Amino acid sequence: MKSSTAQSIAHPEDLLRILVDAVDEYAIFAMDSDGHILTWNAGAQRLKGYKADEIIGQHFSKFYSKEDVERRHPWNELMMAAEHGKYQEEGWRYRKDGAKFWASVTITALRDEKGRLTGFGKVTRDLTNKREQEEKLRESYANLEIRIQERTKELLAEKLRAEEAVKARDQFFSMASHELKTPLSSLKMQTQIRKRRIAKGDYSVFQPNRLNELCSDDERQVDRLTSLVDRMLDISRISASQFQLTLEKTEMVEVVEECIKRMLPALQEAGIECNFVHEQPIVGMWDRLRIEQVMSNLLTNAIKYAPGKPVEVRLLNRGDCIEIYVKDFGAGISAVDQEKIFLPFERAANSEKIAGLGLGLFISRKIAEAHGGKMQVESAPNRGTKFSIFLPVISEEKKETTYEIAENTCH
Amino acid sequence: MKSRKILVIEDDSDIRRNMKVLLESEGYEVELACNGKEGLQALETCVDLPALIILDLMMPIMDGFEFRRVQQVSPKISHIPVAIMTANGHLVEKQTRLDASAGIPKPPDIDVVIQVTSEILAKAN
């Protein structure tokens, strides 16, 4: 080394040649003005795979793809280098063994002191790793973008669900206040009307018969309020899984008949003729009050959503279980809403103008399920709606006082 | 001749009955309807039109908004003043939107009902 260094100081051109030969990161070689290779360094051998004696004298287009050669790209590079002094690009080049690598190429035109083109210098760097890394980066960036888009979509859906839940809750509060204020309106008016009469010296309200009537009026409004509050309490009990049944020996035909009888004035007012079809009396262990609640809810729905049309109630003995259905001939429920109506606070799309808490069907289904039964809806727009409740026939021997919400035993 | 007739459109039968008792005890003639559709039918068939309509908003079959929309484009009845009655908030906003003469919040105070009624009738006659 020492001697060659001393030598290079004496001959600067040799120093340059020695330096260039030693560089193995870059392929550095000279070409004549037509592109034939004149020199070859260690880097060129490493990158291109040719030894000096294999390649010197050959045309540099050997390193290019067939397509590049066909479109005369190597010659165009030389023309551009000659014209502008220098030509740079990145592109695919081929090694002796056929493997391709991503190259950064600089071709410099060499001219003599009179400016005549004597040849070209070419410096090539292998950027395959850099390109691979860039591609990986691009790929992971694209993946990241896809994941961000997916997550954004999920978040938007979650936001929409949350907004819908908030909307349903707000509607519930608005409805609850409306429902509570209806019996309160009558109570307030009745009381105020009486006070006004007494103030005017009209004491007819104190006649025993009249007083009895007025008390009954008040009692009915209080009962309405109590039942509303009970329904709201049911919701919190169901949410807290503390919803329990009190099973007693019950004859179902009588229960259903009794419910219809109690609701007859409201049914008649809505112009509904209610037809109850049943077979022999059926006795089982059921929670009578809860079944009455379901029936009252289904008949109230018919009054609200299908007034002026007949309603058919049927009680069918299906051996292991009974089916009670209430079928109306109203506007029906769309397939989308059929899923929704059993959820708490949710109501069908066409129910905005109709008062209701959106709790009745949710509670009714829970009552059916607590009995080990189920509740179903069959409906289509303009084809009416049929709500069926299936309850297992439990004999007295198997009696238990309370049932947690059980798995379906009716299939 | 001064009309003393009031049409009450309200879906709750108990509120309807109480309104009738109250207004009749004040010397008004009262006609009742269960929803907007029945209200329009009553207006269609009656011999002398009411001087005031007391209108509930949330009702099945035809609600108060829809009733008011039809009423406003029916020349025979569009002039009849309307007092809306509603349990849910935004009373003033609804009153403005429906171009109603008055708004009565539910539960209604009978003094308010009587005052609103007499004021509107005094203006109309």
- 3-state per-residue secondary structure call for A324-343: EEEEECCCCCCHHHHHHCCC
Cis-peptide into A281, omega within 30 deg: no
Whether A90 and chain B come into contact, CB under 8 Å, resolves to no
Does the distance separating the beta carbons of A192 and B12 come in below 8 Å? no
A265: closest CA of chain B, how far (Å): 11
Residue A399 has pLDDT above 60, yes or no: no
The C-alpha atoms of residue A59 and residue A70 are separated, in whole angstroms, by 14
Q: Average model confidence (pLDDT) for chain A?
A: 87
**Residues in Cβ contact with A399 at an 8 Å cutoff, skipping those fewer than 6 apart:** A247, A285
Residue A8 has pLDDT above 70, yes or no: no
The C-alpha atoms of residue A126 and residue A46 are separated, in whole angstroms, by 10
Please name the member of B34, B107, B111 whose beta carbon is closest to the beta carbon of A181. B107
How many separate domains does chain B show?
1
How many distinct helices (H) and strands (E) make up chain A?
12, 11
Whether A210 and chain B come into contact, CB under 8 Å, resolves to no
Please name the member of B34, B87, B108 whose beta carbon is closest to the beta carbon of A189. B108
Pairing of strands A86-94, A26-32: unpaired
Please name the member of B14, B19, B58 whose beta carbon is closest to the beta carbon of A178. B58
Whether A185 and chain B come into contact, CB under 8 Å, resolves to yes
Specify the pLDDT at position A334: 87
Q: Which DSSP category does A207 fall into?
A: S
Q: Hunting for tokens 């100081």 — which residue is that? A: A9
Does the distance separating the beta carbons of A178 and B88 come in below 8 Å? yes
Does the distance separating the beta carbons of B25 and A193 come in below 8 Å? yes
Could you tell me the two tokens for A104? 């950064």
Lowest average pLDDT, out of A14-23, A328-337, B1-10, goes to A14-23
Q: Hunting for tokens 């002039």 — which residue is that? A: B79
Specify the pLDDT at position A172: 78
The C-alpha atoms of residue B85 and residue B53 are separated, in whole angstroms, by 10
ipTM: 0.90
Residues of B in CB contact (< 8 Å) with A are 11-15, 18-19, 21-22, 25, 34, 58-61, 63, 87-88, 106-111
What is the average per-residue pLDDT within A277-306?
90
Phi, psi values for residue A246, rounded to 5°: -115, 105
- pLDDT above 70 as % of chain A: 91
First to last CA, chain B: 8
A194: closest CA of chain B, how far (Å): 10
Question: One-letter amino acid identity for B41?
Answer: Q
Residue range A330-379, pLDDT digits in tens: 888 888 888 888 887 777 666 666 667 777 888 899 899 989 999 999 99
Q: A186: which chain B residues are within 8 Å (Cβ-Cβ)?
A: 12, 14-15, 18
The C-alpha atoms of residue A99 and residue B50 are separated, in whole angstroms, by 98
The C-alpha atoms of residue A374 and residue A370 are separated, in whole angstroms, by 9
Residue range B51-98, pLDDT digits in tens: 999 999 988 788 999 999 999 999 999 999 999 999 877 888 889 899
The C-alpha atoms of residue B59 and residue B37 are separated, in whole angstroms, by 10
Residue A227 has pLDDT above 70, yes or no: yes
- Chain B contact probe: residue of A192, A300, A352 with most B CBs at under 10 A: A192
The C-alpha atoms of residue A188 and residue A221 are separated, in whole angstroms, by 10
What is the average per-residue pLDDT within A79-96?
94
Residue A193 has pLDDT above 60, yes or no: yes
Residue range B10-43, pLDDT digits in tens: 988 899 999 999 999 999 999 999 999 999 999 9
Specify the pLDDT at position A7: 47
Angle, helices A208-239/A360-370, rounded to nearest 10 degrees: 70
Q: A188: which chain B residues are within 8 Å (Cβ-Cβ)?
A: 107-109
B85: closest CA of chain A, how far (Å): 11
B105: closest CA of chain A, how far (Å): 10
Residue A213 has pLDDT above 50, yes or no: yes
Does the distance separating the beta carbons of B22 and A217 come in below 8 Å? no
Does the distance separating the beta carbons of B14 and A192 come in below 8 Å? no
Please name the member of B21, B63, B106 whose beta carbon is closest to the beta carbon of A193. B21
Whether A181 and chain B come into contact, CB under 8 Å, resolves to yes
Number of cross-chain residue pairs from A and B with Cβ atoms under 8 Å apart: 68
Domain that holds residue B57: 5-124
CATH code for the domain of B65: 3.40.50.2300
Lowest average pLDDT, out of A104-118, A240-254, A312-326, A339-353, goes to A339-353
Question: Which of B31, B21, B29 lies closest to B4, judged by CA?
Answer: B29
A402, A370 Cβ separation under 8 angstroms: no
Does the distance separating the beta carbons of A174 and B88 come in below 8 Å? yes
Residue A1 has pLDDT above 50, yes or no: no
Specify the pLDDT at position A408: 47
Q: How confident is the model at residue A97 (pLDDT cuts 50, 70, 90)?
A: very high
- pLDDT above 90 as % of chain A: 56
Q: Which residue of A has its CA nearest to B24?
A: A193
